Amino acid sequence: MTNDISQGLNCPVPMNDYPTIVLAHGGGGKLTHQLIERVFKKHFSNPDLDLMHDGAMVSVDAGRIAMSTDSYVVSPIIFPGGNIGELAVNGTVNDIAMCGARPKYLSASFIIEEGLSMAELETIVASMALSAKKAGVSIVTGDTKVVPRGKADKVFITTSGVGMIPEGRLIHPSRIKAGDTIIISGTIGDHGMAVMSVREGLEFESEIRSDTCALNGLVEEMYRVSPDIHFLRDPTRGGVASTMNEIAASAHKGIRLFEKSIPANENVRSACEILGFDPLYVANEGKLIAIVSSSDAAKVLSAMKKHPAGTESAIIGVVTDDHPSVVVLQTAIGGERVVDMISGEQLPRIC
């Protein structure tokens, strides 16, 4: 039996159906194209992406745009309530929405460690597509690199995005005034504790689920009832405490929070209690903090509660001219304390 050399050497093993990512998937050759076709284009397909040009050429309305980028390195990549893909889409959508903008287009860049199973990658890509659809954004350009085993942790995803800021919206720390009301869109600490709970060595009886979700729909509802929102932030890494400190410092205002008004799920509070964490410092991926004038607070709160992403919204504090740049918590027990930024990671307490 002779091989027809003109058609290339035939290997008895079919080379194109790898169950895992191999280095060659990032080589720019046939396997790369196959990966793009069979995984990325299959799920992300849209006219702008399908051109497969070096960059996306898209139309935008006249006016100001908001732009943001974020990298996602969460471990484990799939956790209760979500996965790294959903996080990557929702996170950037939310960062744009916090500028008062309507997110439109995303890019997605993957750094994949060889050995990641194709099934896991597809799960992640499929949920990115679903999250993008839910948020009303298109993934219009992307990139894939594969690195040797041990040089990354399964998959790292970077998403960037742009959105249009409708006329009349202005989010800026200088707009934060003494007397303004601080609203949160729901329970705190769910994402951080969901991820903690599946890290090695921790098992809780009841599942804690990540709160990852897109907030642009909620923001639109809020703007519908009040075109004059002063400030928006999503309290992700470092939690509510760190975000409030950043806001206090950038606005040079004092912030007073009311501990008993800050919503937190029972299972999150219990898990934090066991590990010695403070839920105020635990990450959220589907919550926003809004600062509005006290006269707008009631209608904004009521609009938020009607939106699925904000049913448990609550007023948690006020802005003050006292103690500029400092966040003070009125404790549930009736005391007071300063809430500082966290230094380093929250480490479990000894006893």
Binding window for another protein (CB under 8 A); candidates: 33-41, 70-78, 105-113, 324-332: 324-332
Q: Is residue 343 near another protein by the rule CB under 8 A? A: yes
CA 34, 53, 153: angle at the middle one, nearest 5?
50
Stretch that binds another protein, among 12-20, 143-151, 217-225, 275-283 (CB under 8 A): 275-283
Tokens of 201: 């060595």
Burial class (CB in 10 A: 0-12, 13-18, 19+), 184: buried
Kindly report the number of other CB atoms within 10 A of residue 12's CB atom.
4
Is 256 a binding residue for another protein by CB under 8 A? The answer is: yes
DSSP-assigned beta bridge partners for residue 320 = 254
Is 350 among the residues that bind another protein (CB under 8 A)? yes
User: Does 172 participate in binding another protein (rule CB under 8 A)?
Assistant: no
Based on the shown chain and the rule CB under 8 A, indicate whether residue 178 belongs to the binding site for another protein: no
347 lines the binding site for another protein (CB under 8 A) = yes
Q: Is 179 in the site for another protein (CB under 8 A)?
A: no
150: contact with another protein by CB under 8 A: no
Piece of the chain touching another protein by CB under 8 A; list 47-55, 128-136, 208-216, 330-338: 330-338
Stretches 4-12, 71-79, 90-98, 272-280: which one binds another protein (CB under 8 A)?
272-280
Taking CB under 8 A as the rule, does residue 335 contact another protein?
Answer: yes
Q: Applying CB under 8 A, which of residues 175, 177, 237, 323 lies at the interface with another protein? A: 323
CA-to-CA dists, residue 32 to 24, 28, 71, angstroms: 7, 5, 22
The residues facing 105 across adjacent strands are 138, 162
Question: Does 298 help bind another protein (rule: CB under 8 A)?
Answer: no
Here the tokens at position 283 are 């990450």
Give yes or no for residue 253 binding another protein (CB under 8 A): no
Cβ proximity to another protein: between 86 and 190 the closer is: 190
| Helices assigned H by DSSP within 83-146 | 84-97, 118-135
**Binding range to another protein, per CB under 8 A, among 33-41, 59-67, 170-178, 264-272:** 264-272
- Terminal-residue alpha carbon distance, the chain: 74
Residue 41 contacts another protein per CB under 8 A: no
Q: Residue 279 corresponds to which amino acid? A: P
Question: Under rule CB under 8 A, how many of the chain's residues touch another protein?
Answer: 34
Q: Is residue 50 a contact residue for another protein (CB under 8 A)?
A: no
Kindly state the smallest distance separating residue 188's Cβ from another protein, in Å.
15
59 or 343, CB closer to another protein? 343
**Least CB distance from residue 181 to another protein, whole Å?**
18
Strands 254-258, 327-330: pairing kind? parallel
> What's the distance, CA 281 to chain centroid?
16
Counting contacts by CB under 8 A, is residue 8 touching another protein? Answer: no
Of the pair 130, 275, the CB lying nearest another protein is at: 275
Sheet of 155-165: strand order equals 64-72, 155-165, 102-113, 138-147
Comparison of 311 and 331: residue with beta carbon closer to another protein: 331
Cα(326)–Cα(322) distance, rounded to whole angstroms? 9
Q: Is 61 in the site for another protein (CB under 8 A)?
A: no
d(CA 234, CA 92): 11
Look at residue 205 and give its three-state secondary structure.
coil
* In the chain, beta strands by DSSP E: 64-72, 78-79, 82-83, 102-113, 138-147, 155-165, 181-184, 231-233, 254-258, 289-292, 314-320, 327-330, 336-339
Binding-site member from 27, 29, 148, 348 for another protein (CB under 8 A): 348
Q: Which residues pair with 184 in a beta bridge?
A: 289, 314
Interface residues with another protein (CB under 8 A) are: 201-202, 254, 256, 260, 266, 269-270, 273, 275-276, 278, 322-323, 326, 328-329, 331-340, 343-344, 347-351
